[in-house]
Amino acid sequence: MEFITGKHLSRRTFLKGAGVTAALPFLDAMVPAGRLWGRSAPDPTRLVCIEMVHGAAGSSDWGASQNLWSPADVGRDFDLGPSALRPLEPFREYLTIVSDTDVRGAEANLPKEIGGDHFRSSATFLTQEHPRQTESSDVRVGTSLDQIYAQRFGQDTPIPSMQLCIENVDQAGGCAYGYACVYTDTISWSSPTQPLPMIRDPRVAFDQLFGAGGNAEARAQRVRSSRSVLDFIAGEVASLRRELDPSDRRRIDRYMDNVREIERRIDRIVERNTSGEVRELPEAPAGVPDSFDEHVKLMFDLQALAFETDVTRVFSFKMGRDASGRVYPASGVDKGFHPASHHGNNERNISDFKQINEYHVGLLPYFLERLRDTMDGDTHLLDKTMIVYGSPMGDPNVHNHKRCPLFIAGGASGSMDGNLHSRAAPGTPMANVMLSLMHRLGIEDIESFGDSTGEFSLAAAGDS
């Protein structure tokens, strides 16, 4: 640990122990003497890209007429009540909904591609490109939005980006309809031919966050010791606290409490899953909770912790896997996810699927609240974060890619106004929205993305 009493603490101060490298949250001591919070150079916006597969009930003709995904009114005076986005009402000032865009890259271009929608869709979400049909290693699609951002604004963090998922993505080779499984298994591509693996196990993600830059052997030894990561840096924490003012000591204590709490939750999960009791997910690693709620929320907590310490600024988060038959008891629907998505245009079945959509969206406020409760300099992390949530599929009953669900949450360092619903003209590519988001993230030199035809306005009518 390197810092000088009486002078500002570097934003890149780390507490180090055997196999442990712990970054710090932003402290008052990191502001140079005589400089105000607002005069300090801000960190780039944090970015989270979340994909939920199988589209939405509101993308069907009847579902759209009932506003089962997005509200009826555009502009700022919209009612979320009937829609699957209702759980986001407490955060509407941070919410931008874009309805009715299309993901043409996920459509079949050739007769031999017909039927393969589930096996190419995820690859198109953040690339907005059409995947090459192959079951071999010669995969090709495009560089994803999250990786374009990470390559610009993530290179000065210990981890340029992290990729997380909930469902099993350990398959290899070909899946179906002539597509390599990698198209289904990841949404992040560092180049058109380089897919990035996703982490399903929260324990693995935690170890990466607290082992970045450390020796692999030392990290393995620390894991085998069954000791807390905090035990390895206790001396440095005590030394640091003596040099800080009371407000910074409180921030350090809160941060350490959060780390300890997450670590204990992971330890309890591993203990439960290795106890010999029958698991709901017998194929899952020991660190993966059987509960979907628990798993998603733990992944959200890890993302918030990483943002707080600026270990990384970029996450992609794949919350589902195409053709998954998983049942979500907490949604109140006892049908499997994929079977429920094939609603047969039956109104009752569409309503059931909307219930599953709302359940998934309803987990996001947990993350938004966590970000809002975490200060980073003179404001909270929700003000400094952009969260892109959507699906590359529209109506899953017919496997189309029109009227695809999409919304953006967070203040994005002042670049997103929030409290807005925009409806795209028929045939508008989702890529237009992605292009506009990149410009708002500071990547202004990119003039096109995927099959974009121009920018998409993210301002309400009448706004200057």
Angle between helices 246-273 and 234-242 (to 10 degrees): 160
Burial class (CB in 10 A: 0-12, 13-18, 19+), 137: exposed
Distance CA 352, CA 337 (A): 10
Q: How far is CA 137 from each of CA 115, 134, 180, rounded to the nearest angstrom? A: 21, 8, 8
Within a domain: residue 22? no
Q: pLDDT-based confidence at 7, cuts 50/70/90? A: very low
Angle, alpha carbons 14-17-22 (nearest 5°): 35
What does the pLDDT look like over 303-356, one tens digit per residue? 999 999 999 999 999 999 999 999 999 999 999 999 999 999 999 999 999 999
CA atoms within a 13 Å half-sphere pointing along the CA-CB vector of 385:
33
Quote the tokens at residue 461. 């009518």
Whether 63 contacts 404, CB under 8 Å: no
AA letter at 262:
I
pLDDT value at position 175? Answer: 84
What does the pLDDT look like over 363-391, one tens digit per residue? 999 999 999 999 998 899 999 999 999 99
Structural domain including 318 reads 44-200+291-440
What does the CA dihedral 8, 26, 20, 194 come to, rounded to 10 degrees? -120
* Rounded mean pLDDT, 136-153: 97
Q: pLDDT-based confidence at 216, cuts 50/70/90? A: low
pLDDT value at position 39? Answer: 45
What does the pLDDT look like over 31-68, one tens digit per residue? 875 555 444 556 899 999 999 999 999 999 999 999 99
- Beta-bridge partners for 376: 379
Within a domain: residue 322? yes
Percentage of residues in the chain having pLDDT higher than 90: 82
Distance CA 417, CA 95 (A): 8
Whether 360 contacts 50, CB under 8 Å: no
Beta carbons within 10 angstroms of residue 346's beta carbon: 12
Q: What is the DSSP letter of 92?
A: G
What does the pLDDT look like over 260-291, one tens digit per residue? 999 999 999 999 999 999 999 999 999 999 99
Q: Is residue 223 scored above 90 in pLDDT?
A: no
Closest CA relative to residue 57, chosen from 393, 419, 388: 393
Q: pLDDT-based confidence at 211, cuts 50/70/90? A: confident
Mapped onto helix, strand or coil, the DSSP state of residue 114 is coil
* Lookup result for tokens 């989702």: 430
* Rounded mean pLDDT, 237-244: 92
Whether 241 contacts 5, CB under 8 Å: no
Radius of gyration of the chain (CA): 22
Q: Is residue 219 scored above 70 in pLDDT?
A: no
Name every residue whose Cβ is closer than 8 Å to that of residue 333 and which is 6 or more positions away in sequence. Answer: 327, 340, 352, 353, 355, 356, 359
pLDDT value at position 6? Answer: 44
pLDDT value at position 355? Answer: 98
Within a domain: residue 180? yes
Within a domain: residue 457? no
* Rounded mean pLDDT, 115-127: 97
Within a domain: residue 407? yes
* Rounded mean pLDDT, 139-161: 97
Within a domain: residue 133? yes
Q: Is residue 407 scored above 80 in pLDDT?
A: yes
Closest CA relative to residue 88, chosen from 459, 424, 369: 369
Closest CA relative to residue 139, chosen from 89, 173, 101, 109: 173
Mapped onto helix, strand or coil, the DSSP state of residue 49 is strand
Q: pLDDT-based confidence at 226, cuts 50/70/90? A: low
Within a domain: residue 103? yes
Whether 133 contacts 140, CB under 8 Å: no
CATH code, 125: 3.40.720
Closest CA relative to residue 391, chosen from 45, 47, 58, 88: 58
Phi, psi of 379 (to 5 degrees): -150, -175
What is the per-residue burial (b if ≥16 Cβ within 10 Å, else e) of 227-264? ebbbebbeebbeebeeebeeebeebbeebbebbeebbe
What does the pLDDT look like over 415-454, one tens digit per residue? 999 999 999 999 999 999 999 999 999 999 999 999 999 9
Q: What is the mean pLDDT of the chain?
A: 92
Q: Is residue 101 scored above 90 in pLDDT?
A: yes
Within a domain: residue 247? no
Domain count for the chain: 1
Q: pLDDT-based confidence at 21, cuts 50/70/90? A: confident
Q: Is residue 214 scored above 70 in pLDDT?
A: no
